[in-house]
Amino acid sequence: QTVVTQEPSLSVSPGGTVTLTCGLNSGSVTTNYYVSWHQQSPGQAPRTLIYSTNTRSSGVPNRFSGSILGNKAALTITGAQAADESYYYCVLYMGRGIWVFGGGTKLTVL
Amino acid sequence: QVQLVQSGAEVKKPGASVKVSCKASGYTFTSYNIIWVRQAPGQGLEWMGWINTYTADTKYPQKVQGRVTMTRDTSTNTAYMELRSLTSDDTAVYYCAKDGSEPTVDSWGQGTLVTVSS
C-alpha cells in the first residue's frame, strides 16, 4: 500500500525559512506524480498553494515555492509570517485516477 | 474565476445515504476532472474518489468501493458524490476539488459537513 509521508509538525521563527517534505514509503517522488501542496487553517477549506510540483497558484505569495529535493517533494517557505501557521498537505497522483494524500504537517511560527 | 460550490450540511441516521453536489463555474466543466476528499473531525485529508467529467469514468479507493457512486450532470456543470450505508465513521467534511491541464489538484469547494448520528 502506498503511503505518503510528511513531517507531523515543524516550527519556524518569523522571517525564517522552513522546508516541508513529501515522500513515499516505497520509491522516490518525481515530477511524474504532479505533486500539489495545500494549506488548511482550522475550520477552513484547503487552499492550493502549489500544483504540478512547482507552479504557484494564483494569488499565492512568492515566499512559497515547490520543488523536488532528493527523493522527496518539498514546499519551502522563505520569510515565514505568522499567517503561515497552518496545516499543510501534499497530494500525489498515482495514475489511473488514483490520488494519495500525505498525513499533513502542522507548521508553527514562533 | 473558478468556483466549486457545494451543497449544504446534512444530518443522516446510520444506514442512510447522502448525496453531495458540487456545482462548477468559471471554466469548461468537462475539460477537467473532479476528485472528492473527506476530512473526519481532527483528522487529515482522505481521497474518496475521482470522476472523469468528460467520460464519466470513475475510480474509488477500496475503503469505500461498493458504497460510493460519483456522477456528473454536464447540463448543469455539477458533480455528485453519493455515499450509502452510512456509519458514524462517515461523519466528516466532504470536499470536491478539480484538477488542471495536468492531473494535479488546483481548486477546492467550500466543503459539506455530513453528520451521521442516531
CA angle A3, A6, A12 (to 5 degrees): 180
Q: Which residue of B has its CA nearest to A52?
A: B104
Tell me the sheet residues that pair with B3: B25
Residues B9-15 have a mean pLDDT of 98
| Predicted local confidence at residue B20, as pLDDT | 98
User: What is the average pLDDT value for chain B, to the nearest integer?
Assistant: 97
Residues A56-106: tens digit of each pLDDT: 999 999 999 999 999 999 999 999 999 999 999 999 999 999 999 999 999
pLDDT of residue B100: 86
Give the residue from B105, B106, B108, B112 with the most A CB atoms within 10 Å of its CB, the best one to mutate.
B105
Residues of B in contact with A89 (CB under 8 A): 44-45
Distance separating alpha carbons of residues A33 and B92, to the nearest angstrom: 27
Angle (nearest 5°) at CA B95 between B14 and A62:
155
State residue B54's pLDDT score: 97
pLDDT digit string, tens, across residues B47-86: 999 999 999 999 999 999 999 999 999 999 999 999 999 9
Minimum Cα–Cα distance from B5: chain A residue:
A45
User: pLDDT tens across A36-66, in order?
Assistant: 999 999 999 999 999 999 999 999 999 999 9
List the single residue in B with minimal CA-CA distance to A104. Answer: B44
Mean pLDDT, all residues of chain A: 96
pLDDT for position B101: 84
pLDDT value at residue B110 = 98
pLDDT of residue B62: 95
Please tell me the distance from the alpha carbon of residue A71 to that of residue B24, in angstroms, as a whole number.
Answer: 36
Kindly determine whether residue A45 and residue B35, on different chains, have CB atoms separated by under 8 Å: no
* φ, ψ for residue A33, nearest 5 deg: -95, -5
d(CA B31, CA A69): 32
